Structure 1
Amino acid sequence: MADSDMIKLYSGRILELTADIPHTDRLANPDATVRKRSPLCGSSVTVDLGVEDGHVARFGQDVKACALGQASAAVVGHAILGCTRAQIETARDQLRDMLKSDGDVPDAPFDGFEVLTPARDYKNRHASILLAIEAAAEAFAEAEESACA
């Protein structure tokens, strides 16, 4: 990756997000916990989720990722409280499409992922970017399944 490409990819806004990841405390009694890891780069995200009345009521995350994974986790952390499973799964699918198929930026409240559009050209970064939203979607599904059991 050339220096100019690196500068474009790691914009000031992305670096700001890495310093502002919300909900970094793990939950004491989550309804579900999911850990996702990118084998390519070693980035990992662990998500704790509490669900009430079909919405995310509590959220915690432990993020050990590259700057792009951290920025993505920050976007998730800022947007996720109050979201439904459908909103999270839609955001996951839209983010994947944005990165891999030049799709549109995810709908609000996850439109903050727009900052990661320059990463489309760097396929080796996609897995790290997807970790937080994939873990959140999986945790929500697990929380609902355990509530029905």
Structure 2
Amino acid sequence: MSDDLIKLYSGRILALAADMPATEPLDAPEATAKARSPLCGSTVTVSLDLDPQGRIARYSQDVKACALGQASAAVSGAAMVGRTEGEVRRARDELRAMLREGGPVPSAPFDGLEVLVPARDYRNRHASILLALDATVDAMEQVMAARAEA
């Protein structure tokens, strides 16, 4: 493994990957969404419920991803309860900009995603890193669409 890859898979990333929050499945969630990286096959499945104000009330994730995808899911999963769709969407967009455009670290409470700054140079890993936030936005959109129809 190259020195750059060794730096990429830092102890902090591996520790986050090993300590995944919000893994207990939810009974009868309002929505479930799965995001998959076609390049590596990593997947993250998110289930959630929203409160009447549109904030995440219950959150669960099933993460089958590389260490970078797991670290991203660990940071974001720990911050999800209480978040609005706009906050999650902003975190996803900020993370994407951080990775692809050298943008700043995502805003709190998603600022722990800073650990993934070294992944900027590994474009083939970006999709996996974004999976948890992509799936969460998708699930929230499902709930909001169903509520709008009701």
Q: Equivalent residue for 1:59?
A: 59
Shift of 1:120: 0.2
Distance 1:142 1:106 in 2: 24
1:16 paired residue number = 15
1:114 correspondence with 2:114: yes
The aligned counterpart of 1:70 is: 70
Q: Give me the TM-score of the superposition, normalised by structure 1.
A: 0.97
**Structure 1 runs (4+) greater than 3 angstroms displaced:** none
Q: For residues 51 and 16 of structure 1, what CA distance do their matches in structure 2 show? A: 29
User: How far apart are 1:3 and its partner, in Å?
Assistant: 2.0
Name the SS for the 2:92 alignment partner. Answer: helix
| Counterpart-to-counterpart distance in 2, 1:111 and 1:5 | 23
Alpha-carbon distance in 1 for matches of 2:107, 2:128: 20
Which residue of structure 1 lines up, in the alignment, with residue 47 of structure 2?
A: 48
Q: Distance in 1 between matches of 2:117 and 2:9?
A: 11
Q: CA deviation at 1:28?
A: 1.3
Matches within 5 A, 1:89-104: 89-104=89-104
Structure 2 counterpart of 1:43, which letter? S
- CA separation in 1, counterparts of 2:144 and 2:24? 22
1:128 correspondence with 2:128? yes
Shift of 1:104: 0.5
In 2: Cα distance, 1:28 partner to 1:110 partner: 26
Task: Measure, in 2, the Cα distance between the counterparts of 1:60 and 1:113.
Answer: 19
Q: Which residue of 1 aligns with 2:145?
A: 145
Cα RMSD over matched residues? 0.8
Measure how far apart 1:25 and its partner are.
1.8
TM (normalized to structure 2)? 0.96
SS at the partner of 1:105? coil
The unaligned stretches of length 5 or more in structure 2 are: none
SS in 2 for 1:68: helix
Give the % identical residues: 58
Q: Which amino acid aligns with 2:66?
A: C
Deviation at 1:78, TM superposition (A): 0.8
CA distance in 1, matches of 2:110, 2:37: 21
